Structure 1
Amino acid sequence: MNFSKPKGIVVFSGGSAANNLVDVFKTVRENKKCPLSYVIPISDNGGSSSELIRVFGGPGIGDVRSRLVRLIPDDPDHDDSEKAALKGFFNHRLPKSRIDAKQEWLQIVEADHVLWLNISTAKKELIRSVLNMINFEIVKRLRPSSTFDFSSASIGNLFLTGGRLFTGSFESAIYLLSSICSVPSHTSVVPAINTNFTHHISAGLANNTTITGQNSISHPSEVTALENTSNAVPSEHEETEYHDGIEDANLPGSLPTLRKQYISFSKADEEELPARICRIWYINPFGQEIRLAANPRVLDVLMNAQAVIYSIGSLYTSLVPSLILKGVGQALANPSIRYKILILNSTNDRETGPSTAPFSAIDFIAAVAKAGAESRGLRGEVGKNEYKAYVTHLIHLQGPGTPRVEKDVLDKLGIETIRVYGRKVEGEGFVGYDEKALVQALEVTMGRGEKRAEKSRRNTLEG
């Protein structure tokens, strides 16, 4: 008898967009009876994470937290009020008002808040001990030039940061939150880089300009000033000196744009980039390019993968930061991974515009291939004949605003295209993926089932 462990499925994704497909990947994993791993980037420096990074350093943890909490199992046959309470607790955000946020935070750490209802005493005191520790660290770091801003802070992000500081290990903090949330052992959340340091990215545009910091690349937000002393726009030298006078986790002389608070932003209100993004790279705090190695666990799950899925989300800030890490490109190009599936976004966003030159399917695939090549130390454009080393299948929608798919070109490159019919997103002018149709497409691609349309849905799937 063969008792070898089945090869797994590895999903590259960011946070919010791919969270909508977690049930899809769960169903495919159950049917394949194999492990499932999510590889999540840690370069986000926007939202409440920016304040944690400013004061404590460390990786951007928001996407890791959101995936772990999304993986709390739902059992429709049992009324598990604690799991629902934990999901609400770790997803909870404090008020936008700085004063109200601080008051609510104290209610939580003092166990005088409705969020604690239905959480067992054992878990409550474990969670509270970590939150009280991070609260102590916040008070300890209080300086006249720098106080922690709890505005819109995520309780889950504060917990993960506290766990990392307490154990000295990002992986241990993830394990602790996974255990509390009862994330199944067959499903893992793997940070692209296992680190206690902050790692930022820059983007190079086709017009030779550079954008520094993930937040500025994906959805620029209103800068939250620590102290508004003048309406005059300071020079870069003056701004650097100003930030050097603030006692926080940043190195003196590091780039001001990486040291600011970016607590408030809107993903819906985005200006177009002036030109296409051509390349993403990691930088040190002074803006110099560096090459970083992937978390060894990422390479382990890729070595034992039957399929890799590039999920929907921001192409250049959710997918590419994981793909350019040393070791990842070589692992992806390994022919032992039979299925390398790109689920194409249902619409173009700020990163894959501008409207004058929107990305098509082959542009998405080229970006993935180029990132894989850069991971291997190969700079420059990648020949189309090499695309199949990184992407073997493309799943896509067709409808208003969907990226153009060059089926004939992709067929010649040996990349199979599978079209699924989605559903209209209420209140939006585009279509989204239907869960049943996407499960069917993935299972057809990976060798389970036949190409067929469900009786209740006309033309669900086309190869």
Structure 2
Amino acid sequence: MSSNSRPKGIVVFSGGSAANNLVDVFKKVREDKKCPLSYVIPISDNGGSSSELIRVFGGPGIGDVRSRLVRLIPDDPDHDDSEKAAIKVFFNHRLPKDAHAAKTEWYQIVEASHPLWANISTAKKELIRSVLNMINFEILKRLRPSSAFDFSGASIGNLFLTGGRLFTGSFESAIYLLSSICSVPSHTSVLPAINTNFTNHISAGLADGTIITGQNSISHPSVSTPLEGAIVTHDEETEAHDSIEDANMPGTLPALRKQYITFSKDDEEDLPARIERIWYINPYGQEVRLSANPKVLEKLGDAQAVIYSIGSLYTSIIPSLILKGVGQAIANPAIRYKILILNSTTDRETGPSSSPFSALDFIAAIAKACTESRVPVSATPTGKSEHRSYVTHLIHLQGPGTPKVDKEELEKLGIETFKVYGRRNEGENFVRYDEKALIQSLEMVLGRRDPRAERSRRNTLEG
């Protein structure tokens, strides 16, 4: 088949955990369209066990990349593949939260005496173990009186991916190694938004002028760290961090050095005002404009559809959109379908609760991010009339807590809406997408008509 007749791909912008629930949906749509599928994942997360890896080793936030790669391990219902199941459990495993117990279990893993190794072949076990032993050696090398690695709650997959990056000197190669071990199909790729060996943090500017530094502080309740004076005065907190020998440069903002190993996603308090803008910063808090991973731009250049998946709008989706080149690539009219799968509820980033985001607010935030990413900026379009350059279709749920959708207003902007009926699990106070209904809606948007599904479509979908 010539390159001209090869089907164009689908590019999905997403974070980690939320969009993992839709992997089977995107897999089915890819199979129906017989085309490549690419996931674009941000690398700015500085929370959880990733924060300790960043503190000691530097480098990108890898948790969401690891999560997606492991989620893509294929399930074959016709064959009992115990090794694939074991590898999935292995790379998703987290060490205990108690520091002493975590360190003890870690040594059981690197010494190959842990039950997690059961059902993993010798060849793969020794390959995996060699990388883990390598990262263990690096941990010991970096041990200082002022700084020791904390294994509490550490993800084995994150440790492996970091070890692979340090061993090869290439984040891309580490992803390839984990993809190969996880048997991720060649037609599906997981691309970091930035291909880098460096740490890249984000800041958020709120409508009231507040600046919040670091993704974890944006997503979860914490005291915001203002930039004013934090660098030049070297206050007591900065000096205290400067006395710790780790991967952070002296004078780095304290908010970017802290361990965020434990935090709660429950009962998140509102931000004092709406988020207006997200940007990347260097370790001292100065704004920097970064270019997207060239492979991301390549996939966008050969895409028939872009999908903005469910997840945190400002910390999972927008960090990928503001990178140089992304907005211009998405605005290309050759990409016919630009689909936003609207979240089923609002969160800390899309509040406050007294004034939650509507569907139009979500679309406007995406359009603004894409516009800011374009070069030259002066040549970029602005205003509601240009929203359709970045979003052509909206898929949404209806029910308690779902964002407001003004269908008529969106239609005036040239954005088609599809209401999908969802489901609610026992004990949950929000609606979830039904996989079958979401697949049908995506197939309708992308032009596939399955006569067998036509009879049931009225029960699951309204266009």
The TM-score, its normalising length taken from structure 1, stands at 0.95
Q: CA deviation at 1:458?
A: 5.7
Deviations 1:63-108 (A, max 9, x none): 0000000000000000000000000000000000000000000000
Structure 1 segment 3-402 matched on structure 2, within 5 A: 4-220=5-221, 237-377=235-375, 378=377, 382-402=382-402
In structure 2, relative to structure 1, the CA distance for the partners of 1:353 and 1:452 (3 Å cut) is: farther
Q: 2:228 is matched with which residue? A: none
SS of equivalent residue, structure 1 residue 9: strand
Q: Structure 1 CA distance, aligned partners of 2:141 and 2:223?
A: 28
Q: Structure 2 CA distance, aligned partners of 1:120 and 1:221?
A: 44
The answer as to whether partners of 1:222 and 1:265 remain within 8 angstroms in 2 is no
In structure 2, relative to structure 1, the CA distance for the partners of 1:456 and 1:409 (3 Å cut) is: closer
Deviations 1:17-66 (A, max 9, x none): 00000000000000000000000000000000000000000000000000
SS of equivalent residue, structure 1 residue 331: helix
The answer as to whether partners of 1:221 and 1:264 remain within 8 angstroms in 2 is no
Deviations 1:95-142 (A, max 9, x none): 000000000000000001000000000000000000000000000000
The answer as to whether partners of 2:93 and 2:155 remain within 8 angstroms in 1 is yes
Q: Structure 2 CA distance, aligned partners of 1:139 and 1:76?
A: 43
Amino acid at match of 1:238: E
Q: CA deviation at 1:406?
A: 1.1
Amino acid at match of 2:395: I
Q: 1:231 is matched with which residue? A: none
Q: 1:421 is matched with which residue? A: 421
Q: Percent identity over the alignment?
A: 81
The answer as to whether partners of 2:303 and 2:335 remain within 8 angstroms in 1 is yes
Q: Structure 2 CA distance, aligned partners of 1:221 and 1:101?
A: 26
Q: CA deviation at 1:452?
A: 9.4
Q: 1:226 is matched with which residue? A: none
SS of equivalent residue, structure 1 residue 423: coil
The answer as to whether partners of 1:314 and 1:351 remain within 8 angstroms in 2 is yes
Q: Structure 1 CA distance, aligned partners of 2:17 and 2:42?
A: 13
Deviations 1:217-260 (A, max 9, x none): 0123699xxxxxxxxxxx96111111111000001001011001
The answer as to whether partners of 2:217 and 2:223 remain within 8 angstroms in 1 is no
Q: CA deviation at 1:453?
A: 7.0
SS of equivalent residue, structure 1 residue 431: coil
Q: CA deviation at 1:5?
A: 1.7
The answer as to whether partners of 1:203 and 1:281 remain within 8 angstroms in 2 is yes
Q: Structure 1 CA distance, aligned partners of 2:360 and 2:19?
A: 21
SS of equivalent residue, structure 1 residue 342: strand
SS of equivalent residue, structure 1 residue 459: helix
Q: CA deviation at 1:459?
A: 2.8
The answer as to whether partners of 2:345 and 2:430 remain within 8 angstroms in 1 is yes
Q: 1:430 is matched with which residue? A: 430
The answer as to whether partners of 1:221 and 1:265 remain within 8 angstroms in 2 is no
Q: Structure 2 CA distance, aligned partners of 1:204 and 1:354?
A: 15
Q: Structure 2 CA distance, aligned partners of 1:222 and 1:425?
A: 34
Q: Structure 2 CA distance, aligned partners of 1:99 and 1:138?
A: 16
Deviations 1:168-199 (A, max 9, x none): 00000000000000000000000000000000
Deviations 1:258-309 (A, max 9, x none): 0010000111231111110000000000000000000000000000000000
Q: Structure 1 CA distance, aligned partners of 2:373 and 2:202?
A: 14
Structure 1 unaligned blocks of 5 or more: 224-234
Q: 1:228 is matched with which residue? A: none
The answer as to whether partners of 1:91 and 1:155 remain within 8 angstroms in 2 is yes
The answer as to whether partners of 1:420 and 1:441 remain within 8 angstroms in 2 is yes
Q: Structure 1 CA distance, aligned partners of 2:198 and 2:221?
A: 23
Give the aligned CA root-mean-square deviation in angstroms.
1.8
Q: CA deviation at 1:451?
A: 9.5
SS of equivalent residue, structure 1 residue 341: strand
Q: How many residues align?
A: 452
Amino acid at match of 1:110: E
SS of equivalent residue, structure 2 residue 395: strand
Q: CA deviation at 1:430?
A: 1.0
The answer as to whether partners of 2:275 and 2:349 remain within 8 angstroms in 1 is yes
SS of equivalent residue, structure 1 residue 308: strand
Q: Structure 1 CA distance, aligned partners of 2:312 and 2:120?
A: 35
SS of equivalent residue, structure 2 residue 125: helix
Q: CA deviation at 1:449?
A: 1.1
In structure 2, relative to structure 1, the CA distance for the partners of 1:236 and 1:219 (3 Å cut) is: farther
SS of equivalent residue, structure 1 residue 368: helix
In structure 2, relative to structure 1, the CA distance for the partners of 1:269 and 1:381 (3 Å cut) is: farther
In structure 2, relative to structure 1, the CA distance for the partners of 1:348 and 1:451 (3 Å cut) is: farther
Moved more, 161-170 or 3-12: 3-12
Q: Structure 2 CA distance, aligned partners of 1:444 and 1:37?
A: 20
Amino acid at match of 2:206: L
Q: CA deviation at 1:456?
A: 5.9
The answer as to whether partners of 1:453 and 1:461 remain within 8 angstroms in 2 is no
Structure 2 unaligned blocks of 5 or more: 225-232
Q: CA deviation at 1:425?
A: 2.8
Q: CA deviation at 1:454?
A: 6.1
Q: CA deviation at 1:382?
A: 3.4
